[in-house]
Structure 1
Amino acid sequence: MALRIGNSTERKRNMEKFTRLLFLSALAFLLVAAGSIACKKGVEEQLGVRENIIEFEGVAKIGIGKYLYVPEMQGFDIIVQGQVDSGDASALVDKEVRGSGEFSPERPSILLANSIDVKEAGRSWRNVFTKTEEVVLDDYLDLEARDGFEMLEGLSFDKTDVWEGKERGKVYGMLEKETVTEGDEQKDVYTIVVVNDKNEEVGRILVDSITDSALYYVKKLRLFEKFWFYLTIKETVPFRTRVSTSKLFHADVLFSGLF
């Protein structure tokens, strides 16, 4: 009987030790985890501002107005607000550039350039741009803004009610460019060839003006032939012209994109 009691007491003591050890181990794990989380949060808070600054380097391939495309910066459109030397972003095309820009979660595809350097012939770098003014994106339409444009369905020369009485709309098609001479000057004239879901031409829209952002995205996405065009709708073309040329109305192009 005494032996059984002794064995029982020993098992009880071992169980108590195991329970205490398990409790202490769990407590230690929780303390370490809490410390790691606090440490990570502290580092993130310290780096919060710096994390929004992104450096870039590469060869600029597209520059229109304030919009700059550097293929090495996949996923970003670089905005250069202000003069680049004595011009705009087009002065940087085919040049090796480096710089830094500010990233904003509200516009995840936009990088607002703070400074840009160009590599000179002697392999040295020369600063050509430093941001000194607030960025103005008055010709950029985000997804929320694009949702406010009604699709102009059923376009035809004899269905003016599709577009008349509407201030804006969107169409899907191709952008055609023609260079014409007016006096001693040449200028580019644009027309949108609108297609339906069967890829059939249903009409043409005369472009009176087009924003830098619209031209930039058409050129950047050159592997695609067709885009969505976001329009301010203007006057209707005369009936005889609509019948003979399929040109339906005039419009200002505000933006273009794949969606």
Structure 2
Amino acid sequence: MAIRISVSTKGKNKQEKIVLTLGFSLLALLLVIGGSISCKKKAGEEMALGEEGLVAKEGIILFEGVVNVGIGKYLFIPEASGFDIIVQGPMESGDVSTLVGKEVKGRGAFSPEKPSILIANDIEVKESERDWRNVFTRTEEFVIDDYLDLEAREKFKVLKNLSFEKKEGWEGIERAKIYGKLEMETVTEGEEEKEIFRIIVLDAKDNEVGKIIVDNFTDFSQYYIKKLKFFDKLWFYFTVKDTVEWRVRRRTRELFHADVLFSGLF
């Protein structure tokens, strides 16, 4: 960076000339230092983006890494941390689950309304050291109906002090959330095996106080359960459904049925 400052001392006495010269010299020095820091900061930011598998270019974010989770239209790539990558439309290789464990790269559009989402424009799969194969090019408008952002999640009511004896603790509430852990049990019905999921409700001392029977999971909630698989306990956001009969509640501590919409750390 070159900076040129012209100082005129014509018509000034000796003392004024010295003051002016020193003043402008100091200004030039400050400009040089400021410019140098700015350049270094910019370079550092670009380096950080590159290290995380993300590069921003003209409003489009380039991503690259190994797919860790693929459910519905959601992809999680650890190298692109901070983003849930959305694949809108059909893929050449089937569905997004076929990309799990594979190294991919692509371009995504950032959505200001949903800053944690990256809408994939195209995706390529690495086949060899030099060869990449295109498996997805977006041709559809971005549509998502099961995504819950932070603002929407804040409207869910926290269920407290649940007990099998007090159904008023959940009845009449449409959408609620609770902190607990997910339990899966495999049962046999006739000749078929069936998986039953329950949310174990815990008190402040981690004692079990009840169970919520999960009838359905949205793709978005399943995606986050897989993404956060190393966490034993999560916040579950759900719609409250039918209450379990009193006799069954008393015997099993199963409280009510629910459809899970989201699972997260908060």
1:154 to 161, 174, 178: 161
Q: CA deviation at 1:157?
A: 0.4
- 2:220 counterpart letter in structure 1: S
Counterpart CA distance in 2 for 1:185 and 1:81 is 34
- How many correspondences in the alignment? 237
Deviation at 1:177, TM superposition (A): 2.2
Deviation at 1:241, TM superposition (A): 0.5
Asked if structure 2 preserves the Cα contact closer than 8 Å seen for 1:172 and 1:196, the reply is no
The amino acid of 1:17's aligned partner reads K
Deviations 1:149-193 (A, max 9, x none): 110001110111110011111011111223455677655432111
1:121, CA displacement in angstroms? 6.1
Query: In the alignment, residue 95 of structure 2 is paired with which amino acid?
Result: D
Measure how far apart 1:88 and its partner are: 2.1
Gaps of 5+ in 2: 1-11, 37-55
Give the 3-state SS of the residue equivalent to 1:231 in structure 2. strand
Structure-2 residue corresponding to 1:235? 242
Larger Rg: 1
Give the aligned residue type for 2:114.
R
Match of 2:13 in 1: 13
- The corresponding residue for 2:144 is 137
3-state DSSP class of the match of 2:13? Answer: helix
Structure 1 residue 222 displacement after superposition: 1.4
Partner AA of 1:251 in structure 2: A
Give the superposition deviation at 1:23: 6.4
Separation in 2 of the partners of 1:185 and 1:203?
A: 27
Number of the residue aligned with 2:72: 65
Counterpart check, 1:220 vs 2:230: no
CA contact (8 A) 1:82 1:88 kept: no
* Structure 2 SS opposite 1:154: coil
C-alpha contact (below 8 Å) 1:67/1:89 kept by paired residues:
yes
Q: Is the 8 A contact 1:52 1:104 kept in 2?
A: no
Return the match for 1:101 from 86, 92, 108: 108
Inter-CA distance 181–57: structure 2 relative to 1 (3 Å threshold): farther
Q: Do the aligned partners of residues 106 and 25 (structure 1) sit closer, same or farther apart at CA in structure 2, a change above 3 Å counting?
A: farther
RMSD (CA atoms) = 3.0
The answer to whether the 8 Å contact 1:227/1:257 transfers is: yes
What is the match of residue 262 of structure 2?
A: 255
User: Does structure 1 retain, via aligned residues, the 8 Å contact 2:93–2:135?
Assistant: no
Give the stretch that moved more between structures: 24-33 or 85-94. 24-33
Per the alignment, residue 213 of structure 2 pairs with 206
* Alignment correspondent of 2:5: none
The question of whether the paired residues in 2 share the 8 Å contact of 1:81 and 1:135 is answered with yes
**1:173–1:228 Cα contact (<8 Å) kept:** yes
In structure 1, runs of 5+ residues without a counterpart are 1-11, 37-48
* Contact 1:207/1:253 (8 A) holds in 2: yes
Deviation, 1:217, is 1.0
Following superposition, the deviation at residue 93 of structure 1 comes to 1.0
Q: Quickly say closer, same or farther: Cα 1:114–1:191, change in 2 above 3 A.
A: same
Structure 1, residues 190-229: CA drift from partner, whole Å, max 9, x if none? Answer: 2111112211111111111111111111111111101001
Question: Normalised by the size of structure 1, how large is the TM-score?
Answer: 0.80
Q: Pick from 77, 83, 88: which aligns with 2:90? A: 83
218-227 or 14-23: bigger deviation: 14-23
How far did residue 52 of structure 1 move? 3.1
Q: Deviations over 1:124-171 (max 9, x none)?
A: 221111111122232121111111011000111011111001111101
Contact 2:120 2:138 (8 Å CA) reproduced: yes
Shift of 1:237: 0.4
Identity, % of aligned positions: 61
The 1-side partners of 2:186 and 2:129 are apart by 38
Aligned mates of 2:95, 2:149 — CA distance in 1:
23
